[in-house]
């Protein structure tokens, strides 16, 4: 600072407004994160129960569709130009919870509630929750 | 007598373009060069020059990569950059809160 620049309250207010503008632009272009997490949660609502209730040939078909979905999410995320602050932490935490719930839910389901819709559908909602929570936090 | 908050302004971030760049990167974990260029509304060469200054100051990290066959440059703030930006923002906020009559004294 040379000391001869304009550092008046008015100047500072304009600078702060420009800061807000830049921050808003990042938030506006980070909506894809929320959309991807919601899609992940919605897919879990379908694929988790399907994994426990469908057998044989159709289980393989569902497995392939699940794989295609996961690859699609990756291809959707790759060309995005900005990653909002804190996303990595939120995503990592959500993925850890999601994986733990999926594995525990599957183990419990196959051991104690094989082919019971009354277990697999509500359990699918529980498995999807971390992704919906992460989507809500990414607003 | 307390020191005027202008002394807390960061000389590197003080430039309006660099402030916009840093503000953009502060809201992101990382952002692509082209995204920052479009957000700050400058040309590639102007942004490139400003990024070089910020990298030399240790405030910004630039990482080159590819998405498919397309080259991409990802920009992110370093811990030093985030800290300097926080202090600069605090100084700006303090200046903005000063009574308007102080303007003549500045």
Q: Which residue has the higher pLDDT, A7 or A67?
A: A67
Residue with tokens 């790759």: A78
| Nearest-CA distance B44 → chain A (Å) | 16
Handedness of CA B83, B88, B93, B98 (dihedral sign): positive
- Nearest alpha carbon to residue A130 among A28, A48, A31, A32: A48
Query: Which of A15, A29, A87 is facing B29, going by the closest CB pair?
Result: A87
Q: Residue A102: beta bridge partners?
A: none
Domain residue limits, chain B: 9-92
Predicted ipTM? 0.79
| Nearest-CA distance A29 → chain B (Å) | 9
Task: Report d(CA A16, CA A5) in Å as an integer.
Answer: 17
Question: What is chain B's pLDDT, residue by residue, as a tens digit (106 residues)?
Answer: 577 888 889 999 989 999 999 999 999 999 999 999 999 999 999 999 999 999 999 999 999 988 778 889 999 999 999 999 999 999 999 998 888 764 445 4
Residue B29 touches partner A, C-beta closer than 8 Å: yes
Residue B41 touches partner A, C-beta closer than 8 Å: no
Determine contact, residues B31/B25, Cβ cutoff 8 Å: yes
CB atoms under 10 Å from CB of A6, counted, come to: 10
pLDDT at position A101 over 90 = yes
Handedness of CA A34, A39, A42, A43 (dihedral sign): negative
Tell me which CATH code domain B9-92 carries: 1.10.10.10
| Nearest-CA distance B38 → chain A (Å) | 10
- Nearest alpha carbon to residue A13 among B89, B8, B92: B92
């Amino acid at each position: 600072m040379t000391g001869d620049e304009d550092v008046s309250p008015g100047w500072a207010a304009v600078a702060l407004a420009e800061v807000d503008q830049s921050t808003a632009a990042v938030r506006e272009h980070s909506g894809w994160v929320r959309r991807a997490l919601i899609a992940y949660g919605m897919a879990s609502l379908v694929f988790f129960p399907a994994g426990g209730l469908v057998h044989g040939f159709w289980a393989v078909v569902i497995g392939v569709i699940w794989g295609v979905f996961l690859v699609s999410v990756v291809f959707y995320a790759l060309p995005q130009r900005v990653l909002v602050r804190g996303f990595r932490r939120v995503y990592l935490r959500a993925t850890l919870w999601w994986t733990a719930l999926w594995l525990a839910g599957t183990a419990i389901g196959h051991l104690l509630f094989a082919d019971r819709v009354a277990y697999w559908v509500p359990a699918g909602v529980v498995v999807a929750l971390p992704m919906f929570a992460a989507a809500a936090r990414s607003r | 007598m307390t020191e005027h908050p202008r002394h807390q302004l960061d000389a590197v971030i003080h430039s309006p373009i660099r402030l916009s760049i840093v503000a953009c990167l502060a809201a992101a974990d990382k952002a692509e060069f082209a995204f920052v260029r479009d957000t700050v509304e400058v040309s590639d060469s102007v942004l490139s020059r400003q990024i070089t200054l910020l990298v030399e100051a240790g405030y910004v990290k630039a990482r080159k990569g590819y998405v498919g066959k397309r080259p991409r440059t990802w920009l992110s703030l370093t811990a030093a950059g985030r800290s300097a930006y926080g202090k600069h923002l605090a100084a700006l906020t303090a200046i903005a809160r000063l009574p308007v009559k102080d303007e003549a004294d500045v």
